[in-house]
A = this chain, B = another copy of it.
Amino acid sequence: MDTPSLSTLGQHLQTLRKARGWSLSQLAAAAGIAKSNLSRLEQGNGNPTLDTIWRLAVQLKVPFGTLVAPIAVPLGEDGVEVRLIDQGKDSPQVDAYWMRCAPFTTRVAEPHTPGARESLTLISGHLEAGPEGDTRQLAAGDTLTFAADRAHCYRTGDDWATLLVSVVYHGEVPR
């Protein structure tokens, strides 16, 4: 398996644990696993079982995928990582994405089908987004809806941005 994502798991695990002010022993005990096991995992060695990952995710109260999803593995080379959350089966068709942009990144998205609209909700960080020439500044908690049948962009300043994106394809479905 990817060695990077293995060490990322370790770092991530340790970060989350310390963020909660727990000791390695405490977390291991709470999760019901040997602390030797947890120790090895945090060091980046090892290849944990689903059971082990699951128990840790429950204790740390993180949505599982968060534990293993590498924080800094952009899907494209452009510093932007996108994950499909769900897609509706009704009309209009709706696609829901989770998206994360690295600092000082600009992503320009191609126009979608005519009538398509996008809604953004910023989870953390700051982001400038919208149709080109009509972008808005967003902070955590802000939402923005705009016509997505024109070229539009997402631009970050000096910090990361995490957001929810839903694309609504009014009219015909694009697939």
Known: A92-B141, A121-B164, A164-B166. A47 touches B53 (CB 8 A): no
The segment out of A22-30, A83-91, A101-109, A129-137 that lies at the interface is A83-91
Task: Specify the chain B residue showing the minimal Cβ separation from A142.
Answer: B168
Is A38 in the interface zone, CB < 8 Å from B? no
Is A11 in the interface zone, CB < 8 Å from B? no
Produce 1/0 per residue, A14-43, CB < 8 A to B.
Answer: 000000000000000000000000000000
Produce 1/0 per residue, A64-98, CB < 8 A to B.
Answer: 11101100000000000001111111111110101
Is A117 in the interface zone, CB < 8 Å from B? yes
For A2, list chain B residues within 8 Å (CB).
Answer: 54
Considering the chains assembled together, what is the distance between the CA atoms of A38 and B138 in angstroms?
Answer: 45
Give the number of times this chain occurs in the complex, counting copies.
2
B140 and A90 contacting across the interface, CB-CB below 8 Å: yes
Report the minimum CB–CB distance from A36 to chain B (whole Å): 18
Q: Which of A69, A90, A93 has the most CB of B within 10 A?
A: A90
Is A119 in the interface zone, CB < 8 Å from B? yes
Name A residues whose Cβ lies closer than 8 Å to a Cβ of B. 1-2, 5-6, 9, 47-51, 53-55, 63-66, 68-69, 83-94, 96, 98, 117, 119, 121-125, 139-141, 143, 145, 162, 164, 166, 168, 170
A-B contact pairs, 30 of them (CB 8 A): A1-B50, A1-B51, A2-B54, A6-B50, A47-B51, A48-B50, A50-B68, A54-B68, A63-B69, A63-B86, A64-B65, A65-B65, A65-B69, A66-B86, A85-B98, A88-B124, A88-B125, A88-B141, A88-B162, A89-B124, A91-B140, A92-B140, A93-B140, A96-B123, A119-B143, A121-B121, A123-B166, A141-B168, A143-B145, A164-B166
